[in-house]
């Protein structure tokens, strides 16, 4: 059974982020299933740190992005919005090139909070980072939207 409350069209999801960090870092939505969403980004000059490996902050950006998008696709977007409340990241292995992908799966989908597990991996399927994201489900009105 699907957790989504909106049509999960990858093309539509891509068109929703012009002028954002997702566009700047070339974060793309790559796959969707009944209970997961996967996005990826390049390991390049925008996302590496001085030692030539993926910056931990960039991993967190990917994790929070895919988790927040997923969270917003589980609610009534006409009246509600899901925003990041807390994120935890454990950096496991460095990535040096190619693309890293992050797959978000829900651990808890409550009325006021969602908790997501986001597993990041390199192109060889090796885990690079494990994140847990908590989002707060609030009214769009409280954001001035």
23 catalytic per annotation: no
What's the pLDDT tens digit per position in 5-21?
999 999 888 787 889 99
**CA angle at 69 for the pair 63 and 71, rounded to the nearest 5°:** 95
How would you list the strands of the sheet with 99-109, edge to edge? 28-33, 36-42, 99-109, 113-121, 127-139, 80-91
Domain presence at residue 4? no
Domain presence at residue 109? yes
Domain span at 137: 10-143
Domain presence at residue 2? no
Domain presence at residue 131? yes
Domain presence at residue 83? yes
Residue 129 has a pLDDT of: 99
Domain presence at residue 106? yes
Residue 17 has a pLDDT of: 86
Residue 111 has a pLDDT of: 97
Residue 13 has a pLDDT of: 86
Domain presence at residue 1? no
Catalytic option among 23, 64, 123, 130: 64
Domain presence at residue 3? no
Tally of structural domains, the chain: 1
Residue 103 has a pLDDT of: 99
Residue 78 has a pLDDT of: 96
Residues of the chain with pLDDT under 50: none
Residue 15 has a pLDDT of: 80
H or E element that contains 88 = strand 80-91
d(CA 27, CA 39): 7
What CATH number does residue 29 fall under?
3.10.129.10
Residue 14 has a pLDDT of: 78
Residue 124 has a pLDDT of: 98
């Amino acid at each position: 059974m699907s957790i989504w409350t909106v049509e999960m069209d990858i093309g539509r999801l891509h068109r929703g982020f012009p002028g954002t960090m997702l566009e700047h870092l070339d974060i793309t939505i790559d796959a969707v299933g009944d209970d997961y969403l996967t996005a990826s980004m390049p390991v390049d000059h925008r996302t590496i740190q001085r030692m030539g490996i993926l910056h931990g902050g960039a991993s967190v950006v990917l994790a929070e992005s895919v988790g927040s998008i997923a969270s917003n696709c589980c609610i009534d977007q006409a009246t509600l919005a899901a925003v990041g409340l807390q994120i935890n990241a454990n950096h496991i292995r460095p990535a040096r090139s190619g693309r890293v992908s992050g797959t978000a799966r829900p651990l808890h989908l409550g009325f006021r909070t969602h908790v997501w597990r986001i597993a990041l991996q390199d192109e060889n399927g090796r885990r690079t980072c494990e994140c847990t994201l908590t989002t707060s489900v609030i009214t769009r009105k409280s954001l001035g939207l």
